[in-house]
Amino acid sequence: MKKVLVVGYGTIGQRLADGVAQQDDMELVGVVDAAVSLGIRALKEKGMPYQLYAANEEARKAFAEIGVPAAGLMEDALEKADIVLDATSAGIGAQNKKIYQEKGLKAVFQGGEKNDVADVFFHGYANYEKGVGADFLKLTSCNTTGLIRAVDCLNRKCGIEKVAITIVRRVADPGDYHRGLTNALQVDQAPSHQAVDLMTIMPEIEATGILVHAPVTHGHFITVVATPKKDITVEEAIEAFREHDRIRMVRLEDGFKGNASIFKYARDLGRPRGDLYEICIWENTIVKSGRDLMFGIHIPQESVTIPETIDAVRAALHMDKNGEEAVARTNKNLGLGAWKEQR
């Protein structure tokens, strides 16, 4: 059993802890955090299912003041781990990397860190083998992670020459107030970093894109126009997407009207926090313009990177040298694809 430590118990860290705990060949050492948050308060009320370590003495005192038991300090937890999943705020991970290096530990960083924090910019499906044995890996952002799943799926089916994307980006996660109350759309400079990042992971594909921030919280929406190397029908594209364990195909006529419908469905399924690990593609949006294929994707931003992060653990620790075997093991442990049996 490989021992995994999650540093940063925020939006992503909470979900990483849950994801690691579901793996049959990994052991969650615990979680590390630096301040009292709603997540920490909820951890206490749930009966401390995970060992909590304080990032420093100040944090340990703060936890004690609200009656939350700390199993020790971060340095104590690092001694027990084989690898660290760093889910701290952007910039903190780069500082923590020095500590991990001193301890001789491997680490996986999330999309908010700069690319130079890691040896490999990683995606479980598109470039798993590059991460095998690497000391420091960095995940793509939530949008890029989901985008690459879909593009890689088509690329394996028919080859993709280029893609053009438009991202309608949620402005903040549910519960966040730091962006304020908004009633506006904000346009970013093109090309969006997601298109640039896709080309970094998949250099054989030309990509460009536009990003627009929208005043919503439950998920991003991406439109993709993909130019295939070999002509593909809408029906063939649908079948390829249906076979992918990290993609859910949804339809308007079944009640999936938009991002809120998908979030509600995840809650109705009993998914913790209303999370989905899968991206969703509307069958109704898959159309052709000449040879080009167009479709729309829902990205559940809080949870979509969890499977790829677990893939990164497998790669870094040599748990699986073959990418297809690695993602299949992660998918099985997370229950991904199991719902297809009920179709």
Question: Token pair of 201, please?
Answer: 């992971």
Do the beta carbons of residue 188 and residue 238 sit within 8 Å? no
Let me know the angle formed at the C-alpha of 289 by 283 and 294, rounded to the nearest 5 degrees: 35
What are the φ and ψ backbone dihedral angles of 143, each rounded to 5 degrees?
Answer: -65, -45
Q: Residues 194, 147: contact at Cβ < 8 Å?
A: yes
Direct distance between the N- and C-terminal alpha carbons of the chain, in angstroms, rounded to an integer: 34
Which of the residues are catalytic? 142
Please provide residue 49's backbone torsions phi and psi, each rounded to the nearest 5 degrees.
-65, -20
Q: Helix, strand, or coil here: 260? A: helix
Taking a C-beta distance cutoff of 8 angstroms, is the pair 24, 333 a contact?
yes
Could you tell me if 252 and 284 are in contact, meaning their C-beta atoms sit under 8 angstroms apart?
Answer: yes
- What is the token pair recorded at 324? 């297809």
Which residue bears the tokens 């993609």?
247
- In angstroms, the CA 28 to CA 5 distance is 6
The answer to whether 222 and 143 have CB atoms below 8 angstroms apart is yes
User: Cis omega (within 30 of 0) on the bond before 191?
Assistant: yes
Whether the upstream peptide bond of residue 307 has omega within 30° of 0, thus cis, is no
